[in-house]
């Protein structure tokens, strides 16, 4: 990640509650307030699976037993809540190994699908913290659960960028402080910052694996095939965002990540992902107007800003640093104007923001 993204993550965190620092140490930075031993047991099970999948001779019987005994109920709960089919993906991987599938490929399916399940579980716990806000002990417990479950994603976040990881930790601390300060709106904003920053981790991971496919294609096609599978499973987490605004692009990305490895094209995947993602900030600009005068409008203004964070690097690459930074400034000012209830200023800024996004769309 470059310095532009680092600056934007810092801005997002500082603007949310103006009370945060940064640290990469879970224990020192995010002390737990409640008993989360059951949740920690699930993370320990995930870590054991992660260790087993890196062994030269992968013991899939053991992986399957750990999954079925400790993690399956959680995955199935998220399947039901979010209309997903993650358990089916994982069971298909186990079935594939029993019937001759490459264990290394199956291991990637299990691992990346579990990462998606834990992301959705972090989201679930943060949403419940909002719902339980009036019960401070329960709200704190939900934040503790989110902190523990984030451990399953933290390694990937760090690989993409230490700043992404620290931004998520800072967002979690922001959520904690919001409860302590009895500020529901700050908790809702922190929820968005955490969730969309994790989404950026998956977005960056798809692109990373696509780049790795191209890198290994000539010299190590077997490894390129594994990287392709990793990209495909990572993509399942952000597929809904891309598909909602770029149906054809979604098909193109899925075809590249599931078909002939020679057809994988990093540049095309980047373009199609971002054609989908750019629709999100534009959508939330409209939502702000529909919910004007409510706390929801402010949260949606923040959503427009944090979704911009996902594509900021590409915007600056295609439109130039100056234009990208002006867009960031306009979005930040837009959030402030929504918070102040200044509709005239909001309308002026909205038009400027839309013009820049349209220009970006024309370049991809």
Residue 294: other Cβ atoms inside 10 A = 11
Q: Are residues 267 and 282 in the same domain?
A: no
Q: Are residues 251 and 292 in the same domain?
A: no
pLDDT at 126: 98
Q: Tokens representing 227? A: 């990287």
Q: Based on the structure, what is the number of domains in the chain?
A: 2
Q: What share of the chain is helix, strand, coil (3-state, %, to 5)?
A: 85, 0, 15
Give the structural domain span for 344.
278-363
Q: Are residues 229 and 343 in the same domain?
A: no
Q: Are residues 249 and 283 in the same domain?
A: no
Residue with tokens 């203004």: 301
Those residues with Cβ within 8 angstroms of residue 89's Cβ, 6 or more apart along the chain or in another chain: 109, 113, 233, 236
Those residues with Cβ within 8 angstroms of residue 49's Cβ, 6 or more apart along the chain or in another chain: 63, 66, 67, 71, 110, 111, 114
Q: Are residues 219 and 265 in the same domain?
A: yes
Distance CA 205, CA 88 (A): 22
Q: Are residues 37 and 131 in the same domain?
A: yes
Q: Are residues 201 and 73 in the same domain?
A: yes
Q: Are residues 168 and 282 in the same domain?
A: no
pLDDT at 28: 73
Q: Are residues 301 and 259 in the same domain?
A: no
Residue 58 belongs to a domain: yes
pLDDT at 12: 54
Residue 17 belongs to a domain: no
Q: Are residues 137 and 165 in the same domain?
A: yes
Helix (H, G, I), strand (E, B) or coil at 342: coil
Residue 339: other Cβ atoms inside 10 A = 14
- Residues in the chain predicted with pLDDT less than 70, given as ranges, are 1-27
End-to-end Cα spacing for the chain:
20
Q: Tokens representing 295? A: 């706390």
pLDDT at 24: 30
Q: Are residues 148 and 283 in the same domain?
A: no
Distance CA 250, CA 280 (A): 15
Distance CA 322, CA 147 (A): 36
227-249 tens-digit pLDDT: 999 999 999 999 999 999 999 99
pLDDT at 7: 53
Residue 16 belongs to a domain: no
């Amino acid at each position: 990640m470059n310095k532009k993204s680092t600056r934007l993550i810092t801005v997002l965190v500082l603007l949310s509650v103006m009370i945060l620092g940064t640290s990469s140490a879970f224990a020192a930075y995010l002390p737990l307030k409640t008993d989360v031993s059951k949740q920690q047991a699930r993370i320990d099970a995930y870590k054991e699976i992660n260790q087993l999948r890196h062994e030269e001779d992968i013991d899939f019987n053991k992986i399957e037993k750990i999954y079925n005994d400790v993690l399956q109920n959680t995955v199935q709960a998220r399947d039901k809540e979010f209309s997903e089919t993650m358990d089916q993906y994982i069971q298909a991987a186990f079935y594939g190994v029993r019937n001759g599938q490459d264990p290394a490929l199956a291991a990637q399916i299990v691992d990346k699908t579990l990462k998606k399940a834990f992301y959705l579980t972090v989201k679930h716990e943060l949403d419940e913290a909002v719902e339980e806000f009036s019960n401070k002990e329960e709200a704190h417990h939900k934040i503790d659960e989110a902190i523990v479950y984030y451990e399953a994603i933290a390694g990937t976040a760090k690989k993409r960028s230490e700043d992404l990881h620290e931004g998520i930790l800072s967002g979690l601390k922001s959520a904690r402080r919001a409860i302590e300060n009895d500020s529901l709106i700050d908790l809702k904003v922190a929820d968005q910052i955490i969730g969309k920053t994790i989404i950026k981790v998956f977005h960056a991971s798809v692109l990373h694996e696509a780049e790795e496919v191209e890198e290994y294609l000539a010299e190590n096609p077997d490894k390129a095939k594994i990287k392709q599978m990793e990209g495909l499973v990572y993509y399942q987490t952000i597929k809904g965002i891309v598909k909602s605004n770029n149906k054809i692009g979604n098909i193109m990305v899925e075809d590249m990540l599931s078909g002939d490895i020679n057809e994988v094209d990093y540049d095309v995947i980047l373009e199609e992902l971002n054609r989908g993602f750019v629709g999100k900030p534009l959508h939330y600009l409209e939502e702000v107007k529909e919910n004007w005068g409510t706390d929801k409008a402010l949260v949606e203004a923040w959503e427009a800003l944090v979704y911009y964070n996902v594509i900021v690097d590409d915007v600056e690459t295609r439109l130039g640093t100056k234009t990208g930074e002006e867009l960031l400034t306009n979005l930040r000012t837009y959030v402030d104007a929504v918070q102040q209830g200044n509709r005239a200023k909001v309308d002026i800024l909205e038009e400027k923001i839309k013009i820049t996004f349209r220009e970006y769309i024309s370049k991809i």
